[in-house]
Amino acid sequence: MATRTMQAARCPTDELSLTNCAVVSEKDLQSGQHVTVRTTPTYKFVFTVKSHHSVLPGTIAFSLPQRKWAGLSIGQEIEVANYNFDKSKQCIGAMTIEIDFLQKKSTDCSPYDSDKMAAEFIQHFNNQGFTVGQQLVFSFCDKLFGLVIKDIEAMDPSILRGEPASGKKQKIETGLLIGNSQVIFEKSESSSLTLVGKAKTKEARQTIINPDWNFEKMGIGGLDREFSDIFRRAFASRVFPPDIVEQMGCKHVKGILLFGPPGCGKTLMARQIGKMLNAREPKIVNGPEILNKYVGESEANIRKLFADAEEEQKRLGANSGLHIIIFDELDAICKQRGTGASSTGVHDTVVNQLLSKIDGVEQLNNILVIGMTNRPDLIDEALMRPGRFEVKMEIGLPDEKGRLQILNIHTAKMREFNLLCGDVDVKELAAETKNYSGAELEGLVRAAQSTAMNRHIKATSTVEVDMERAEKLQVTRTDFMASLNNDIKPAFGTNQEDYSCYIMNGIIKWGDPVTRVLEDGELLVQQAKNSDRTPLVSVLLEGPPHSGKTALAAKISEDSQFPFIKICSPDKMIGHSEITKCQAIKKVFDDAYKSQLSCVVVDDIERLLDYVPIGPRFSNLVLQALLVLLKKTPPHGRKLLIIGTTSRKDVLQEMEMLDAFSTTIHVQNISSGDHLVEALELLGSFTDAERTTIAQHVKGKRVWIGIKKLLMLIEMSLQMDQAYRVSKFLSLLKDEGADRGFYE
């Protein structure tokens, strides 16, 4: 048929409206033919026609969606011409269709199988022409749906020729639907329709992982293993195509709990997880902000956080985007229920509200809640079960490789602008900064920068920068070392001042007994470091008062070079109640468990226990706490050496505490004249002549004096005139041993 003018009419029946065909008279055209309808000189539309006896010759009838799409009015004169599809280029390979209920009042929540829908669509509209933007009505399961063609891809010509696919994809405006075309349904944004099956939304197959993210740019270092574990548990199911996840009956992880020491990157990590995902901007909530003094407001604040996710889930179902909610300081609002002393019980109701929102009766599958705390022991256990915060990840202190990454991140900019001196070896700094957290390493770099800047400030009456030298500013190794020694100390590291006061006079090796204690101590250090079978090694140094037990314990711990050394001493707990004392001791041990290698010195145990022989009385609460902690194995991968000191072995024996230690080492007093002379020689306080005189007096005699006491006597004697020093010393020595029957 040549181009002819026809008149537009209304489709005669509803049944014919559902065929998506333009209806004509049998005298004009045959069913199955394709025509172009030109409404204006520039606009033409392709239709497939169907003949029907009720249509008058010279007219062409369109359904309401067709008239809307082509902008036709009834009685309008239009030009109609035959149209032939080029089957090598215009067969439809894949067609994306936006779908919604035709009438909003007929909506329902039952799921529609998109695979069956696609099969019926192809059967119903086979060999029809479709154009991008075209509107039509489709009947499925006795429901009417309004469709809009969104996108058409041509079929690969190689497949049509029976050859392997070339993989080329070509978009076309108009195409012919054939039996092996692929139809993909995508529900419209505002629709409440629920689709299931493989033929639903291509969008869901897009990866949720942002393609251009990497650790270094994000400023995260030393957390590679933790990130891969979180990814495996929380995101693997979200990256997979939804239909496979659906077939497995797999539910996404809804909660991650990050815990560990302060400054190790928990908040940073949570913030970056949001950037890493193609998700909504994360909602970051500080725990205390949730709480409100008015009744019911705290719970309402929790509900507001989840409102967007709930609304989107109702609207879009499985196609809903991921909503991330980050709780910082989670322990502020999620304490164990029933423990609060307040009469309002606000904490309890907030926890209840959070529990029901994360995994209550009405489940949300489009949320990821990330909680952070450095006190996981305070959090209500109902939150920790699978389905809520099921991925629990410890963000611990970085190892050497992690510290190297962190230092590289924080010095990258200085390196880029040549402000880092060549003598700075980042690997050396990483080795030196044992037990430094990420925040402390950042602080170290800042302190080194300040030290370097300070060199370029003129200290005149006004503070001004020496601009000539400032342009040559470089941060050197000396700046870093100064900051390492003076400015930044790790919270979970070794505080040298702690134990240096115990060994300020050094260790005086006056004989074999001292050497033996140090050698045995070295063996125990090696055992703690290298043995996989004994992650916990404990030793008790016992001996008479003033024999130097604490100094030896401090020396053994210092020589161990463990990154964490703490001395748990009674002098820091003066005036503490029993409960406070127990908590202080427990904190020392808890801190030790955070480090890979730790050494805890429990000094003067009988003083810690408040023991006095009159009565006798002691603190049973502290005793029980110590007994538990001395036997408690550290967490997997951590090793702990405990060194205890006591002057009352007999008392500990009665309290059944000796069994809590792996081994006991006896520390002796100086008991012979020869050892005494050896000690005097090492101390070098007296002259050679004075020492000879003392040696003659003590030769072959039994003495009994602790090294600490000996130092005291020597210092006392040295205050006298030179002529009387020796006689004073011998007199004091005799008094010391007299009441014990020594110095005979």
267 within 8 A of 328, measured Cβ to Cβ: yes
β-pair type (92-101, 77-82): unpaired
Whether 549 is catalytic is: yes
The two tokens of residue 33 are 């033919």
Axis crossing angle, helix 707-717 with helix 673-683, rounded to the nearest 10: 60
Active-site residue flag, 48: no
Active site residue 604: yes
Give, in order, the Cα–Cα distances in Å from 119 to each of 116, 133, 406: 5, 21, 55
Cβ burial, residue 530 (10 Å; 0-12/13-18/19+)? exposed
Backbone angles phi, psi at 658, to 5 degrees: -60, -30
Burial class (CB in 10 A: 0-12, 13-18, 19+), 139: middle
The active-site residue, picked from 604, 639, 645, 709, is 604
Please say if 603 is a catalytic residue.
yes
Q: What angle do CA 110, 113, 116 make, to 5 degrees?
A: 140
Active site residue 692: no
In terms of C-beta density within 10 A (0-12 exposed, 13-18 middle, 19 or more buried), how is residue 730 classed?
Answer: middle
Could you give the maximum distance between any two Cα atoms of the chain, in Å?
145
- Under DSSP, the state recorded for 585 is H
The catalytically annotated residue of 50, 549, 566, 581 is 549
Query: Long-range CB contacts (< 8 A, 24+ apart) of 604-613?
Result: 604/550, 604/569, 604/570, 604/645, 604/646, 604/647, 605/644, 605/645, 605/646, 605/652, 605/657, 606/646, 606/647, 606/648, 606/651, 606/652, 607/570, 608/568, 608/570, 608/573, 608/581, 609/655, 611/648, 611/651
Distance CA 208, CA 496 (A): 49
48 is written with which tokens? Answer: 């497939």
Contact call for residues 287 and 421 (beta carbons, < 8 A):
no
CB 704 within 8 A of CB 547: no
**328 catalytic residue (yes or no):** no
Q: Tokens representing 166?
A: 């070339």
Residue 210 gets which letter from DSSP?
Answer: -
Please pick, among 48, 201, 411, 550, the residue that the annotation labels catalytic: 550
Determine which one of 27, 413, 427, 631 is catalytic.
Answer: 631
Residue from 603, 645, 646, 709 carrying the catalytic annotation: 603
Find out whether the peptide bond into 616 is cis, omega within 30 degrees of 0: yes
The CB-side HSE value for 543 (13 A sphere, CA atoms) comes to: 24
Residues in the chain: 744
Distances (CA, A) of 542 to 108, 400, 509, 565: 80, 37, 18, 20
CA distance 65 to 127: 20
Q: 198, 509, 708, 728: which one is catalytic?
A: 708
Distances (CA, A) of 185 to 170, 247, 429: 19, 19, 58
In 125-253, which ranges are continuous DSSP H helix? 157-160, 215-218, 224-230, 236-239, 242-248
Q: Is 56 helix (H, G, I), strand (E, B) or coil?
A: coil
Query: Can you name the residues that pair with 111 across neighbouring β-strands?
Result: 194
Say if CB 564 and CB 528 are below 8 A apart: no
> Which residues have a catalytic role annotated?
549-550, 603-604, 631, 708
